[in-house]
Structure 1
Amino acid sequence: MKPLNLPRKIPDFSALSFDIEDFFQVAAFENQCPVESWPRYECRVEANVEKLLELLEGHSTQATFFTLGWIAERYPQLVKRIVDSGHELASHGYNHQRINLLNQQQFRDDIRSSKLLLEELSGLRIDGYRAPSFSFTEQCPWITEELLEAGYLYSSSINPVPHDLYGYANAPRTPFLWPNGLLELPVTTYELLGKRIPCAGGGYFRLYPYLVFRHLMRKAIQQLQTPAIYYLHPWELDPLQPRIKGASLKSRFRHYINLSKTEQRLRQLLRDFNWVPIRQLQPVSETLYQRAD
């Protein structure tokens, strides 16, 4: 792992990203909602992404949309809407299956089929990838080679914290290059007394009081002197989504905590920070496009 030599100053912009999946596709419910059962559920992703797009338009903000192939195949007009709104389209894999549950061939098929589909639907080259549930771990050393061979230029798949479902706890906290040259952009963490505190979005955005979350993100930007990389899911803007039966108390807590507060918090976040899609980060974008030539 080779850290990038970033300028040592507080960055002016941070990266806003969204993982486009529906409420029944999350890792917390993978035992209750296996892939073969997905067609039985009410899809709410179109309405939730539309709400998200209108919210971003109202704040003159663009973002990166890591989109599932499963979603794109069923809602090609959603892909068109994202691209026509000026946002960056990137891959979230095809079936939102955690990488540690796939073998190398299954992973290869997943990342290539999703990239090909998104490129066909959008007419654009797909440069970025984010692993489902940040399941990029030390147990799968072939991930970076497969991504590079599939034509991806960067990954934002590392959440450098310990977690029971994901986490690459010993990975760098700032952008770095894997040994094969693939660019990695970990999501943001703040370090306090030797412990890494997640402050990149998702469930932590809903769990922490907003002022605490904002403080942690600002402190992380100052500490790392790199842009923050934030993520959220469209289902987190949907407090009326159907409840999944049979999930554990921990899974229900993680998924449903403070859903009713997400939209207002996101509106405030859009006002409190300056945001760009991942492709526009400097000097990360310089590294990315130098490799693209």
Structure 2
Amino acid sequence: METIRNAMTIDVEDYYQVSAFETHVSRDTWCARPSRIDRNLRRILDILDEHGVSATFFTLGWVAERHSDLIRELVRRGHELASHGYAHVRVNRQTRQAFLEDAHRTKSLLEDVAGVAIQGYRAASYSIDDSTPWAHEVLRETGHRYSSSVYPIRHDHYGEPEAPRFAFNPIPGDDAFIEVPISTIDVRARRLPCGGGGYFRLYPYLVSRWAFKRLNHIEGVSGIFYFHPWEIDPEQPRISGLSAKTRFRHYLNLARMEARWRRLLSDFHWDRMDRIFLLPSIAPASQESV
């Protein structure tokens, strides 16, 4: 049996750019804050090299403008560069026209910086949902081939729990564009998130390993894992004034994240999004519905 590869993805944004900090950190102050992205991203690139893993980096245009050498370096090392929008604005807080302009601007910027075609897009905070029925059409119109912007769970900041769990065609009659949701598992009529981020830091590592084994060996599908460069950086500057819930979610187990991620890299097979989902078809028939 062919080994199932999972998609390793990194959302390239700095610690102060997360959506949960929007009311505490104005975008106007981003340039004045100490940046950690260069240090953290180079650390991630070196670890991926150690494990022989290629990944997909969903990158903010704002970051690419200021760290162009670093973006070219990740492409040189064999990774896929994809779009995360320009300044981490949620899609469901934009008009259709504003989103079109942002998607086009960021794709063009990334392509100019790195000299490669940009095929993938991931929305800030998984903010493509039932309130943005035009979003996938806009991405298709701006030349993207896939999105990984839906998290089919219930969450107070994001989520579309009725969405399919696996890769699907979101535009009727258009088989050339796909949405690849973040991984979940269904257990006793409950859908549980297992695709990374804060959940990976919250769960004991054995829970995450069990979930990916279930995806690969029982359901026979590729999983999607994501995290952010700031999650391997326990020494990052602290943001003041956060609620207890936001503080808990952001800073939980940062010191343990790198070791856990290394175990995940060793325990499973990984590759870029485009190599898994764009060649030659989006998914076996069993992946097309919940």
Same fold flag (TM > 0.5): yes
Query: CA separation in 2, counterparts of 1:51 and 1:173?
Result: 31
Following superposition, the deviation at residue 221 of structure 1 comes to 3.0
Structure 1 unaligned segments of length 5 or more: list them. Answer: 1-8, 289-293
Following superposition, the deviation at residue 222 of structure 1 comes to 3.7
Q: Secondary structure at the match of 1:197?
A: strand
Aligned residues: 279
Q: Secondary structure at the match of 1:281?
A: helix
1:51 aligned partner: 43
Tell me, yes or no, if structure 1 residue 106 matches structure 2 residue 95.
no
Deviation per CA, 1:147-206: give whole Å up to 9, x if none: 000000000111100111111110000111112422011111010111110000100110
Query: CA separation in 2, counterparts of 1:85 and 1:233?
Result: 19
Q: Secondary structure at the match of 1:19?
A: strand
- Equivalent residue in structure 2 for 1:285, among 279, 283, 287: 279
Query: CA separation in 2, counterparts of 1:222 and 1:135?
Result: 30
2:107 aligned partner: 115
Query: CA separation in 1, counterparts of 2:242 and 2:30?
Result: 16
2:232 aligned partner: 237
- Equivalent residue in structure 2 for 1:273, among 263, 268, 275: 268
Query: CA separation in 1, counterparts of 2:220 and 2:166?
Result: 9
Following superposition, the deviation at residue 123 of structure 1 comes to 1.0
Following superposition, the deviation at residue 287 of structure 1 comes to 3.2
1:189 aligned partner: 184
8 Å CA contact retained: 1:191, 1:220: no
Query: CA separation in 1, counterparts of 2:161 and 2:128?
Result: 11
Higher mean C-alpha deviation, range 222-231 or range 36-45: 222-231
Structure 2 unaligned segments of length 5 or more: list them. Answer: 283-290
1:174 aligned partner: 166
8 Å CA contact retained: 1:174, 1:224: no
Q: Secondary structure at the match of 1:250?
A: helix
Deviation per CA, 1:92-128: give whole Å up to 9, x if none: 0101011111111221111111100000011111000
Higher mean C-alpha deviation, range 10-19 or range 158-167: 10-19
1:225 aligned partner: 220
Following superposition, the deviation at residue 51 of structure 1 comes to 0.3
8 Å CA contact retained: 2:56, 2:81: yes
Q: TM-score, normalised by structure 2?
A: 0.93
8 Å CA contact retained: 1:10, 1:221: no
2:7 aligned partner: 15
- Trace 1:209-220 onto structure 2 (pairs within 5 A): 209-220=204-215
8 Å CA contact retained: 1:174, 1:185: yes
Query: CA separation in 2, counterparts of 1:184 and 1:14?
Result: 16
1:79 aligned partner: 71
1:159 aligned partner: 151
Higher mean C-alpha deviation, range 96-105 or range 59-68: 96-105
Q: TM-score, normalised by structure 1?
A: 0.92
Question: What is the one-letter code of the residue matched to 1:285?
Answer: L
Following superposition, the deviation at residue 223 of structure 1 comes to 4.5
Query: CA separation in 1, counterparts of 2:178 and 2:135?
Result: 13
